[in-house]
Amino acid sequence: MDNHYLPMMAEIREIVDQTHDVRTLRLRLKSADDIESFRWQAGQFGLFSAFGEGESTFCIGNPPTRPGHIEITFKQAGRVTSALRQLDVGDTIGVRGPYGNAFPIDDVFRGRDVVFVGGGIGIAPVRAVYLNCLDRRDEFGRLMIIGGARTADDFPFLDETCALAGAGHEVTVGVTIDPGRESSNWPHRVGLVPDVLREMVEQASPAVNTAEAVAIVCGPPVMIKFTLPVLHSLGFADERVYTTLENRMKCGIGKCGRCNVGSRYVCKDGPVFTAAELHRLPNDL
Amino acid sequence: MTPLTLKIDRLGDLLAKMAAAGFRIVAPVASAESDTSATAPRPRQAVRFAVVGPQDYARVDLTATPAAEGIKRFFLPQSEAVVRMRQNEGQSAQVSDISPDAPPTIIFGARPCDAAALPVLDRVFSWDSDDRSWSHRRQQTLVITIACQSSDAACFCTSIGGAPDSTAGSDALLVPQDDGTMQVRLVGERGEKLRQFFDADDAGSAAPREDATTGDSGKAGQVTVVPPRFDISGVRSWIENNFDDKLWDQAALACLGCGACTYGCPTCHCFDLVDEGTEQSSLRRRNWDSCQFRNFTEHASGHNPRPWQTQRYRQRIAHKFAYFPERFGTTLCTGCGRCVRVCPAGVSLLEIVGRIAAKGKIEEGRADG
């Protein structure tokens, strides 16, 4: 029987600073067997360790259509993320995973319009899905990406996100920062994410078929709280509005009891849930 | 089949025989300080399960029902190293597996409420994937349980579907008899491994029983009666339908959030994984944790799904009596009453679930009417 807590070893190949406190690491598993067996889908997560400090849960930030490495993007917040920031290219970190369910791209997304909404560091899991969809562009209807952050300085993947619109992908992109936080040279939108979402969907031409469309929302709890009603009023069905929960986890495999919401294990039944599923859970998020 | 018996004055011989057969023996022992006063009643808190050798056999104390601390730690250790990590200067990091240290073990003198927790926890530790450490310790360990001769006001096994002579989770059950002997009931195939250690009951003092699994205390033996404290039938649905009820505020008002209830609980199993050591050399340990602690669910962002004690207390009760039953089909509680006895603030799960049961009964009545 296997020790599920024994991590695989990965080498840091590349470090990209997204903002002053958000960093992306590109990792390569050291063992050829591990590389072969590590097959993931957009939405799944891993547990990444700084030895001596502990493990943290991050979504796998690159889509399966861009294999060869594992990408994680994290904000420096606690003990492990502070330790991970100290590491250099060539250093080793531990990896467990992939764990959890995934966005049902093949089963649900195909053939539909898809609206992506990411706030702050929450754009990282959403990005894994829109990059996946862009890599398979022909399989979907309209694609619309809305990214938001408090300030321009807190906006991970800002340049990359803006550049997507001009890259021949047939995708609508809107980026916004909170009102009152903009500088005079900010060239993009100013407004709260739910308001920008409403405006972009209502003004879209051709129109987004909201009754059949899929929406993915990830960001701070307060953003999700105010975005879900807007999606609902725009005609999105709760069964096709997805989010990925960020509950604290330890084991990642449905044993340790930490991520539980009601009878659900976020690490096994999630992290991807529909709004309809969230409505059925106790208000414990 | 010949009935088996144990003469309690031969306990030392029995334990020695088991040890000679290669088993590590775990038994309830009175702590040293409680032995200093022979006349004072021994406090319940003094009896704990521990690994015993020949020098300890005389200290084995079978009177506590249940012992202050149960047998959970012999299946889910309070702290257990699971991974070793090393990183020398100029070299890349290495990790190595640490196998669970679990020799063949006999736990002697468990109580039915502690043993009953084992099959309950099997469900969480073996669903989806097997937890190696738990499964290995379960395989390596035989549990000999003693039916309870006494109980107190905190005992409520019978309200959860258990009994003071239940065999759930046990490989053998000892039933104290009027003549001072114990009737031995072996349970299942694993129980048969214990047959070699017991004597045939030649005197026939203990009548063989036809049914050793019903939990019916019957005529034979000196099994205590634990009266029903509440009717559990309406508890789950009341919890599911009353997430925001003010009962939760009232219930948690006195709770200090110390976690003593969870540590004492035979079914509480939430754990933490922590690294101890340095970047160069560290152990990843699995430690007991508690849903009653504020930082249990706190996100790195500072957001906390359960920032208030009311929410954390509700989580504990709802997990045991609604969420776990929904997920795994059984209550995450065996009615041992330890949480009631250990609480330094006098918070009683028994009283609170009793109130929920009464409310559930009323709502059921309304639904029927």
The predicted pLDDT at position B341 comes to: 94
Angle at A42 between CA A227 and CA B123, to 5 degrees: 95
Give the model confidence (pLDDT) of A48-84 as tens digits.
Answer: 999 999 999 999 999 999 999 999 999 999 999 999 9
In whole angstroms, give the CA distance from residue A9 to residue A29. Answer: 6
Chain B CB within 8 Å of residue A198 CB: no
Q: Which residues of A touch B244 (CB under 8 A)?
A: 283
Using the Cβ of A64 and the Cβ atoms of chain B, whether some distance falls under 8 Å is answered with: no
Chosen from A5, A76, A87 to mutate, greatest number of chain B CBs within 10 A: A5
Work out the mean pLDDT of chain A and round it to a whole number.
96
Task: Identify any residues that bridge with A55 across adjacent strands, giving them in sequence order.
Answer: A49
Of B85, B130, B298, the CB nearest to A51: B85
For residue range A137-164, what is the model confidence (pLDDT) as tens digits? Answer: 999 999 999 999 999 999 999 999 999 9
List, as one string, the DSSP characters of chain A. Answer: ---TT-PEEEEEEEEEE-SSSEEEEEEEESSHHHHHH----TT-EEEEEETTTEEEEEE--S-TTS-SSEEEEEE--SHHHHHHHT--TT-EEEEEEEES----IIIIITTS-EEEEEEGGGHHHHHHHHHHHHHTGGG-S-EEEEEEESSGGG-TTHHHHHHHHTTTS--EEEEEE-TT---TT--SEES-HHHHHHHHHHH-SSPP-TTT-EEEEES-HHHHHHHHHHHHHHT--GGGEEEE-----SSSSS-S-SS-BTTB-HHHH-SEEEHHHHHHS-S--
Tokens of A11: 């080498």
pLDDT at A246: 84
Contact state of B82 with A6 under an 8 Å Cβ cutoff: yes
Cβ neighbours of B285 in A, within 8 Å: none
Q: Which of B323, B348, B156, B335 is nearest to B252 (CA)?
A: B348
The C-alpha of B168 sits at a distance from chain A's nearest C-alpha, in angstroms, of: 22
Show the tokens assigned to B46.
């003094």
In whole angstroms, give the CA distance from residue A92 to residue A13.
10
Coil, strand, or helix at residue B276? strand
Residues of B in contact with A83 (CB under 8 A): 279
Three-state SS letters, A189-257: EECCHHHHHHHHHHHCCCCCCCCCCEEEEECCHHHHHHHHHHHHHHCCCHHHEEEECCCCCCCCCCCCC
Closest Cα in chain B to A8:
B95
- The 8-class DSSP code of residue B158 comes to G
Q: What per-residue confidence (pLDDT) applies to A16?
A: 97
Integer Cα distance of A28 and A32 in angstroms: 10
Q: Which residues contact B359 (CB under 8 A, 6 or more apart)?
A: B234, B238, B242, B247
Question: Burial level of B225, CB count in 10 A (0-12/13-18/19+)?
Answer: exposed
Q: Comparing C-alpha atoms, which of B335, B18, B44 is closest to residue B172?
A: B18
Look up the ipTM and state it.
Answer: 0.94
A245 interaction partners in chain B (CB closer than 8 Å): none
- DSSP codes of every residue in B31-56: -HHHHS-SSSPPPGGGEEEEEE-GGG
Residues B302-333: b if buried by 16+ CB within 10 A, e if exposed: ebbbbeebbbbbbbbbbbbbbbbbebbebbbb
Is there a contact between A11 and A88 (Cβ–Cβ < 8 Å)?
A: no
Residue A46 pLDDT level (bands cut at 50, 70, 90): very high
Match 């993947």 to its residue by tokens.
Answer: A157
Q: Which amino acid is at A55?
A: E
Chain B: give the shortest CA distance to residue A209, in Å: 34
Structure confidence at residue B33 (pLDDT): 53
Which residue positions in chain B have pLDDT lower than 50?
34-37, 42-45, 205-219
B275 and A51 within 8 Å at the Cβ level: the answer is: yes
Question: Taking CB atoms and an 8 Å limit, are B87 and A247 in contact across chains?
Answer: no
Burial B81-105 (b: 16+ CB within 10 A, else e): ebbbbebeeeeebebeebebebeeb
